[in-house]
Amino acid sequence: MRYILIALMFFLSLILPGTLFHFWAWSGIKPDLLILLTIYMAMHHRRLSSVLWGLGAGLLEDFYLGRYIGMYTLTLLIVAFLSNWLTERWYRDNFLLTTFMVFIVTVAGQTCVAFLGLGAGLQWSLGDVVQLIFGVALYNAVLVPITYPLIHRSFLHGWLRYRPRYDR
Rounded Cα–Cα distance for residues 96 and 55 (Å): 27
- Of 135, 139, 116, nearest to 33 by C-alpha is 139
- The pLDDT assigned to 17 comes to 82
pLDDT at 2 over 90: no
Identify the band that residue 166 occupies on the pLDDT scale cut at 50, 70 and 90: low
What average pLDDT does the structure give for the chain? 88
pLDDT in tens, 61-96: 989 887 778 899 999 999 999 999 999 888 778 889
The amino acid sitting at 34 is: L
* Contact (CB, 8 A) for 16 and 34: no
- Of 114, 128, 157, 146, nearest to 33 by C-alpha is 146
- Counting residues of the chain whose pLDDT is more than 90, the rounded percentage is 47
More confident residue, 141 or 120: 141
pLDDT in tens, 26-48: 777 888 999 999 999 999 889 99
DSSP 29: B
pLDDT at 60 over 80: yes
